[in-house]
Amino acid sequence: MLNKEQLAETIRGCRSGDRYAQNRLYRAFYAWASAICLRYTGNAEEARECMQDGFFKVFTKIDKYTGDLPFEAWLKRVMINTCIDRYRARLNAIPTISLVEACDETVVAETLINADAEYLLYLVRQLPPAYQTTFNLFAVEGYEYQEIADMLGVSIGSVKSNLSKARGRLKEMLAQRQKEDAYARQ
């Protein structure tokens, strides 16, 4: 990462269209932005595409960065919004699932708490896009139901349902892994 002065200088260069400054910013935040996009997409290839689109938006709209909040927060928002835009564009191609009001939203499986973070990320990537995006926005980013509904253009009921179904699928996948681990130990 860049220190505060280097970042300010790099942003000034990006605002003036300096390709060197753009390259410097890209290289400084590549891994971090890639990790954000990977949480919202199904695979590394799609994450790279979202990240590239996100950086294009950063470079073409850097004048909109006012400096009121840390640059990292602004960049993160751009990357997440890019992933959400991509998700919305694919919505028409995704078969619609009937949504029901989620029941108990406060229960978190003990296995989810004890699971290895890297493996959990792998499991989240296995979820259908609607569940994956909702789960990431709620559990990872900390958004409220209404905020997620507004971002995705769906009802709060859909958000709660998708979150409940995501949790259920994750619990099933973790239970399956526990069974496989127990069998392997025998």
What ranges do the domains of the chain cover? 4-93, 110-185
The model's pTM: 0.62
Cα 178 from Cα 115, distance rounded (Å): 10
> In the CATH hierarchy, which top-level class contains the domain 4-93?
mainly alpha
* pLDDT per residue as tens digits for the range 9-33: 999 999 999 999 999 999 999 999 9
Q: How does the average pLDDT of the chain come out, rounded? A: 83
Q: Which residues contact 22 (CB under 8 A, 6 or more apart)?
A: 13, 14, 59
- Which CATH fold would you assign to the domain 110-185? Arc Repressor Mutant, subunit A (1.10.10)
**Selected residue with higher pLDDT from 27 and 89:** 27
pLDDT at 100 over 50: no
Mean pLDDT of 98-118: 48
Percent of the chain with pLDDT over 90: 41
